[in-house]
Amino acid sequence: MLSVREVAQRLDVPVEMVRRHGIGGRVPEATVVALEAEPPAWLLQSRANRTGAPVWVDLECVVCGHAEKERPKKWWPEWTYLSCFRHAPTEAPAPAEGTVRREVDGIGSQFVALVDEPAA
């Protein structure tokens, strides 16, 4: 059984859209397979209207490889690396020479964005 969130990721549409079309609770795998095999009008429409930006992005920790999918947020910086909160800063690759690193918390459920920018 899949969660609504997993269904949305599989179909690459927002969670709200899945809910709006009566899919909720725990969803059998067969339901998703059927939607992929014969997409209903709303799913085709959503794909046709896609503006090019991905609905879901893959986030992956540079240290341990933990990965998750998340909806991209407008406030996210352009990061050099992502790292889980629990890793020490020294576990991630060092910033390139001539760059300074700042950290942005709260990416996905457990990531810190490591943003390396040219030193002023």
- Quick one: which of 23, 59, 66, 81 contacts Zn ion (CB under 5 A)? 66
In terms of CB distance, is 20 or 86 closer to Zn ion?
Answer: 86
Residue 107: in which H helix or E strand, if any? Answer: strand 99-107
**Chosen residue from 33, 34, 44, 64 binding Zn ion by CB under 5 A:** 64
- Single-letter code of the amino acid located at 25: G
65 Cβ partners below 8 Å, 6+ apart? none
Stretch that binds Zn ion, among 2-10, 16-24, 40-48, 63-71 (CB under 5 A): 63-71
Q: By C-beta, is 55 or 61 nearer to Zn ion?
A: 61
Of 24, 22, 30, 110, nearest in space to 67 by CA? 110
| Strand partners for 102 | 115
Task: Indicate whether 112 belongs to the interface with Zn ion (CB under 5 A).
Answer: no
Report the Cα 71 to chain-centroid distance in Å. 5
Among residue numbers 79 through 98, which ones bind Zn ion (CB under 5 A)?
84
Q: How far is the CB of 27 from Zn ion (least distance, A)?
A: 29
